[in-house]
Amino acid sequence: MAHSTDNKALGFKDTIVIGMMTFALFLGAGNVIFPAALGLEAGTNLLPTMAGFLFTAVGLPAFIMVALGMVGKACQFTAPLTGGLGRAFWVSLFIAIGPAFAMPRAVTVAYEMGLRPFVEGDYLLPFTIVFSLVILFLTYNSQKLVDWIGKLMTPAMIAILAAISVAALLFPLGSIAEPVNQLAITPVTEGMMQGYMTMDALGAVGYGWVIMQAINSRGVTSSAQVAKSTMHIAMIYSVLMGGCYLALSYVGATANTIAQGATNGGEILSLYVYEIFGGFGQLLLAAIMILACLSTAVGVAQANAEYFSSTFKVNQTKVALVVVIVNCFIANFGLDQIITFSLPGILILCPVALALVLASVVSHHFPQVKPAHNAAMILTLVFGTIDAMSIIGVIPASLDSFFAANLPLYTAHTSWLIPCVTAIVVQSLISVLTGSATKAPEAI
């Protein structure tokens, strides 16, 4: 018997294309250059370090995508929140992963590594204008987003990264050295913390709008099929992103001979590809950066346009234009200034997003349990702020020592986790004991 339209499944080809699109949305410049630096520092502890790193840098985003497929819509993550907490969270998230931080960072990194090595003088302003126009063009052609990113950009990026990885295997530029700093003592824990700091978990919540739109546009609307399709897409993303991280970390681990004095993964990759490929290598690296940054910027611009147009009932085309203009303006302040002013907010938003996802998964599987979103969000906001202050180094020494001795998981920058889980468990027990099942309110 033929399936009804409402139970239509996502085809194999569409699953591959959307999976590759998802990989491209996450593969920003930081995702390319960070593993190389981590690999160089991890040295002979590369495998345990990357095991921890992959758990948080790939596992958490994949988990959030699967959770999104379960609940059906990203807005359900905040549906049980009272007052304006839900809308405040989404507005903050989309501004952060859009024009305030992720997009300007993508533009400036694309300039620093994609154009600046080949020119003399400062061309940041004209570059940001041209780059932003390309972002705007791709965002306006939303119906072609999957085709552009899934069928063109992603295969090109995979081919470029594969060329560098194969070269690292065949022509290593040095033996793997001993690990340094904390990676010599607790490589798994340190790898997990560094993976958490990629903040792709935050991006996974925002990218959900694009992923769901892509699935629904293929005629897949039933909750069971959407959940199944999302799981398959998350698996494709995990394989591609995990392979990318492992390959680039190995490049860094075997580049110690030529990477002495390098301060970041970008320098390591630049030195490596120049040593192996010469001038062609520089062009190769430039292509990686431009494609990675462009795909990320298009993804977050589309997500912003989708959210603000549907929430505030404004024209999506106008929203995209405003987002790209603001991005172009902020990008000209430079990468250092963007990170300095935006990082604290990002570090607070990330654990809050994870807390809401955890609460939503529990509510989905146990509908008789009263949602614990409010308590989970507030507690995570408090303890997540403490973690953020610790990471950026603004906590007084006396308080830092006190928290390190008395606050569980503080040294791993995840002191929010236990209070969050406790709030969910306590709320669940109260609901079961009192029988106070409560239907979640409508999405904000």
CA pair distance 413, 247, nearest whole angstrom: 27
Question: 138: which residues sit within 8 A by CB, 6+ positions away?
Answer: 144, 145, 148, 294, 298
DSSP one-letter code for 180: -
What is residue 444's predicted lDDT score, i.e. its pLDDT? Answer: 40
444 residues of the chain, pLDDT tens digit each: 344 446 788 888 889 988 888 887 787 767 877 898 899 999 999 999 999 999 989 999 999 999 988 887 777 888 899 888 999 998 988 888 889 888 888 888 888 888 887 888 889 999 999 999 999 988 877 556 556 665 666 677 778 778 888 888 888 887 888 888 888 988 987 888 778 777 788 778 877 777 888 888 888 878 888 888 999 999 999 999 999 899 999 988 988 888 777 767 777 887 888 888 888 878 877 887 888 788 778 878 888 888 899 888 899 889 999 999 999 999 998 766 776 777 777 778 888 988 999 999 898 888 878 889 999 999 999 999 998 888 778 899 999 999 999 999 888 778 999 999 999 999 888 887 886 554 444 444
What is residue 68's predicted lDDT score, i.e. its pLDDT? Answer: 87
What is residue 20's predicted lDDT score, i.e. its pLDDT? Answer: 85
Q: How many degrees, rounded to 5, is the angle at CA 414 between CA 432 and CA 383?
A: 75
Helix/strand/coil (H/E/C) assignment for every residue in 320-358: HHHHHHHHHHHHCCCHHHHHHHHHHHHHHHHHHHHHHHH
Question: 406: which residues sit within 8 A by CB, 6+ positions away?
Answer: none
Name which of 352, 26, 40, 361 is nearest 179 in CA terms.
Answer: 40
What is residue 26's predicted lDDT score, i.e. its pLDDT? Answer: 84
What is residue 441's predicted lDDT score, i.e. its pLDDT? Answer: 43
Using CA atoms, how far residue 95 sits from 99, 107, 164, 302, 349, in Å, is: 6, 16, 34, 12, 11
What is residue 62's predicted lDDT score, i.e. its pLDDT? Answer: 93
Alpha helices in 115-222 (DSSP H): 124-140, 145-146, 154-170, 187-196, 200-216
Name which of 104, 102, 118, 108 is nearest 270 in CA terms.
Answer: 118
Whether residue 37 contacts residue 197, with contact meaning beta carbons closer than 8 Å, is answered with: no
Question: Could you tell me the maximum CA-CA distance found in the chain, to the nearest angstrom?
Answer: 71
**Tokens representing residue 12 in the block:** 């194999």
Question: 444: which residues sit within 8 A by CB, 6+ positions away?
Answer: 75, 78, 79, 81, 84, 86, 87, 90
Q: How many degrees, rounded to 5, is the angle at CA 384 between CA 379 and CA 388?
A: 160
**Tokens representing residue 255 in the block:** 């580049």
Sign, Cα dihedral of 164, 167, 172, 177: positive
Using CA atoms, how far residue 389 sits from 197, 347, 385, 412, 419, in Å, is: 14, 9, 6, 13, 18
DSSP one-letter code for 412: G
Neighbour count for residue 16 (Cβ, 10 Å): 15
Domains in the chain and their CATH numbers? 11-332 (1.20.1740.10), 347-444 (no CATH)
Phi-psi region of 395 (alpha: psi -120 to 50; beta: other; left: phi over 0): beta
Amino acid letter for position 172: P
What is residue 250's predicted lDDT score, i.e. its pLDDT? Answer: 92
Sign, Cα dihedral of 288, 292, 298, 301: negative
